[in-house]
Structure formats: structure tokens, C-alpha cells
Amino acid sequence: MHRIRRWVPLQRLREFSLVIILIIVVLIFGNQIDNYYTPRTFNRISSTVALITLVAVGQTMVVLTRNVDLSVGSIVGFTAYYVGRYVSKNEDMAPLMLAVLAMGIGAGMGLINGLLVAYGRIPAIVVTLGTMAIYRGVLVEYSDSKSVATRQLPDWIKELPQESILKFGEYELRALPAIALVAVIVFFFLLLYTSLGRRLYAIGSSPEAANLAGIRAPRMVTLAFTMCGAMAGLGGMLYLARFGTITVDAARGMELQVVAAVVVGGVNILGGSGTVIGAMLGAILIGTIEQSLIRMNINEFWKDALLGLCIIIAVTVDRILINQLTPWWSRTELQRMPEEPHAAV
């Protein structure tokens, strides 16, 4: 036990607990739904979750620094639209270049958020509530209320969602989940093994201490927002690939799904702790519940209530699991005053 504790830090516990809950959830639904354990279910859920995961990874960067980006839905919508328009006029654009363009636009919007938050010293929620409306407004103006239609898009982008990268029998790893997975891995290492990542944690953990320690918080925060924007931009391109038809309402409300995934995944909304793996697990958990409820043969009007109930049960079980497991894990935890960070926004 000592060994494990030594090499598996406490933070992993959150992920462990989420995996357990995920397994429970899958078992329960498997029991309720015919043909649940099929490759199809897997492919469905993985494709659906991919988009949220990707944006949630970026959001994690921001939330770690004790900020939040509520404009991601609008950024996804805007880039989806813009990239769609752009590619319909420049059909021979290379896929990679298009991705770069999407990330660039997203990063630009994220940069604006970041500058306002870090150098304008405005609370992130205020800035991004504002830019959420503004970016959407810009999209409405820009689009002139026309939508991007599937037929305007080059084939490769339309076919991207059905592209399969890896196949194990009928289980496929499709392009969208693969991209999300790559993002998760990249940012996992970025956060764990680079000093940049550690400083993001430091800033969120204690902004005052970061200031005293000589960490350039404004730069880091701006960077975090920019990365978040870039991920949302990439998300926009994938959104375009997935839905083809893009209206000005594209991805409206996505920010709440993303924030929910991040927070359910154990990223502290007050900053300083959490991992992208957790955020991904959060997205998978909510996505699985949502998708499975769709499959379940119950009255349409009961589904929302059940979804809310499932989420609250899942997070409660998670909390209880963590409380039970923590003493096992950590020697020092027992020595501490039981002063958990209280949760706010």
C-alpha cells in the first residue's frame, strides 16, 4: 500500500473514482437496455463525447487558473461558421491548414478574453459572459442569417466523422474521438511535466502566493485563455464536420455542457486542482448518461428529470467514494485539519 501511495498521487484518486462510477453507470444501463454492449453503442458515445471533451480540455486550462470561459460555445459556433464559409470558397484548402485556421480564429477570440481578464483585471465570468454575447452577435451580423449547408463543404470534411483511425473488430476509434484523445494526451503531459503547466496550477491554487513567488500570472492566464480558445476553434471545425449544417445558433449553450464536464471531472472550479483526464472522464460520464437515456425505452417527458437525477447521484457517489478512499491513500491527510475547500463558483 505504501508503494502505491507513493507513486500514485492523491490526484489520481478522482479519476479512479470516476472510472468506478462510469463502470457502475454502464452496468446499470446495460441491464436496462437491449443490445447495449455493442460496438455501436461505443462508437456512438465516443463520437458524441469527443467534441465536448476537446473543448473541455481547453476549458480545464482556464479553470485551473481560477477563471472560467463561458464564451466557448460562441467561439465554437463562430469558428464552425467561419471555417465553413471559408472552406466553401477555398475548396482545395489542405485539412491541416484549415485546422490551423480554425485554431487561429479561436485563439484570437481566446486571446481577447485573456487580455481583458489578465490585463484589464476583469473577473473572467464577467468578461466571458460579455464576449459570449458579443461573439454570438458578431456571428449573427457576419452570417446575415444564412446558414452554411453541407453541400458547400468539401468531401473530406463531411466524411471526417466516419473516418476510422483504429479498428478492433467492430470497435472503431474514429477521427473525432482520436483528435480529442490526442488533445487530452498532449495537455496531460503539458500540465504534468512542464513548468508552464505547473505554474497554471500554482496561479489557480493561490493567486497571491503566485504573485509573491514571482510568477507572471497575467501572461499565464492570457495563455490559458488563448489555448482554450484554440481548442474551442478546433472544436468549431469538428462541429462543422459533424453537423455540416451550421446556423447562427450553432453550439449555443455548449458552454454549460463543457463546464459541467470539467467540474464533474473533478477540476476544482476555484482553480488549482484537476486534470484533463478527469475532464475527459466527466464528459464521458455525462455523455454516457445522456446517450443511454436516449436509448432507454421510457416516456419522453421523463428523460430530463432522470438526467438531472443521474448527474446528482453520480457526483454524490463520487464525493462519497473520494471521502472513503482518501484516508487510505494519504498519510498526511489524516494529520490535517478537516478543512476542505468549500465549493463556490
Partner 1 sequence: RAQDPEPIKAEPGVELNMVLLPKTLGNAVFDEAHEGAIEAHEELENPGELIFNAPTPDNAIPGQIEIIEASITQEVDAIMISANDYEQLLPSTTKAMEEDITVVTWDSPVSPEGEDLFIAQVDFTEVGSVMANMALSILGEDGGQFAILSATPDASNQNAWIEAMQTLLEEDEQYANLELVDIVYGNDDPDDSYNEALGLVDSYPDLELIMAPTTVGIAAAAKAMQDEELCGEVAVSGLGLPSEMQEFVENGCSQEFALWSFKDLGYLTYYVSYLLASGAMEAEEGVVFEAGRMGTYTIEADPNREDGLRVLMGPFSVYNADNLEEWAAGGDEEGEPEVEATEEAN
Partner 2 sequence: MQQSKRWAWLKSWEALMFIILCAVVVANLRLSEHYLDLNNLANIFHLSIEKSLVVLIMAFVIINGEIDLSVASVMGLSATVLAERYDAGWPIAAGFVLALFVGVVCGLLNGLFAAYMGIPSLIVTLAGSIGYRGVARILLEDRSVGDFPSWFTSLGQDGIIGPFHITIFVFIALFILGFVILQYSVFGRYVYAIGNNRAAAEYAGINAKQVKVTIFMASGLIAALAGAFYAARLGNVRANAAEGFELDIITIVLLGGVSIFGGTGTMIGVGLSLLVVLNLRNGMSLSNVDGNTQTSVIGLLLILSVLVPNLIQILQRLVPRLFTAISRILNKGGATEPKSQVSVHQ
Partner 3 sequence: MTADPLLEIRDVSKQFGATKALSSVSLSLYPGEVHALLGENGAGKSTLIKIMTGIYQPDSGEILLQGRLISLHNSAQAQKHGIAAIYQEPLVFPDLNIAENIFISHQRRNPLVRWGKLYRDAEKVLAQLGVALDVRALARGLPLAAQQTVEIAKAISMDVRVLIMDEPTASLSIHEVKQLFGLVRNLRKAGVAILFISHRLDEVFEIADRVTVFRDGQFISTAPVAEVTPEQAIRDMVGREIGDIFVKEPSPRGGVVLSVKDLTREPRFHHINFELHAGEVLGLAGLVGAGRTDVALALFGIAPAQHGHITYLGKEVHLHSPKQATRMGMVYVPEDRRQHGLVLPMSLMANISLPSVKNYRNQLGMVQRGKEVTTAEQYRQQLSIRTSSLSMPAGKLSGGNQQKVVLSKWLNTKPHLLILDEPTRGIDVGAKQEVHRLINQLAQQGMAILMISSDLPEVLAMSDRILVMREGQQMGIFERREATQEIIMAAAIGQTLNMAESAVAHA
Smallest gap from residue 252 Cβ to partner 3 (A): 33
Size of site (CB under 8 A) for partner 1: 37
**Cα angle for residues 258, 229, 209 (degrees, 5° grid):** 85
Q: Nearer Cβ to partner 1, position 220 or 248?
A: 248
Beta-carbon count within 10 A of 13 CB: 18
Per CB under 8 A, contacts with partner 3 among 209-228 are 209-216
- Map residues 150-179 to x or -, x wherever contact with partner 1 holds by CB under 8 A: xx------x--xx-----------------
Dihedral sign (CA 307, 22, 225, 95): negative
Backbone φ and ψ of 299, nearest 5°: -55, 130
> Contact 163/238 with Cβ under 8 angstroms?
no
> Contact 274/60 with Cβ under 8 angstroms?
yes
Per CB under 8 A, contacts with partner 1 among 185-244 are 242-244
Could you say which of partner 2, partner 3, partner 1, none residue 305 binds, taking C-beta under 5 to 8 angstroms by partner kind?
partner 2
3-state secondary structure of 208: helix
User: Does residue 48 touch partner 1 according to CB under 8 A?
Assistant: yes
Q: Nearer Cβ to partner 3, position 8 or 312?
A: 8
3-state secondary structure of 298: coil
Smallest gap from residue 326 Cβ to partner 3 (A): 11
- Map residues 282-301 to x or -, x wherever contact with partner 2 holds by CB under 8 A: -----------------x-x
Beta-carbon count within 10 A of 209 CB: 11
User: Does residue 305 touch partner 2 according to CB under 8 A?
Assistant: yes
Q: Nearer Cβ to partner 1, position 48 or 205?
A: 48
Could you say which of partner 1, partner 3, partner 2, none residue 315 binds, taking C-beta under 5 to 8 angstroms by partner kind?
partner 2
> Contact 236/73 with Cβ under 8 angstroms?
no
Cα 181 to Cα 179: distance, rounded to the nearest angstrom: 5
145 Rama class: left (phi>0) / alpha (psi -120 to 50) / beta: left
Cα 252 to Cα 256: distance, rounded to the nearest angstrom: 9
Q: Nearer Cβ to partner 3, position 38 or 194?
A: 194
Smallest gap from residue 151 Cβ to partner 1 (A): 3
Q: Figure out which of the listed residues 162, 194, 211, 316 binds partner 2, where binding follows CB under 8 A.
A: 316
Q: Figure out which of the listed residues 307, 325, 326, 330 binds partner 2, where binding follows CB under 8 A.
A: 307
Cα 253 to Cα 256: distance, rounded to the nearest angstrom: 6
Smallest gap from residue 184 Cβ to partner 1 (A): 21
Cα 277 to Cα 186: distance, rounded to the nearest angstrom: 11
Binding stretches for partner 3 (CB under 8 A): 6, 9-10, 192-199, 201-202, 204-206, 208-216, 268, 272-273, 330-332, 334-339, 341
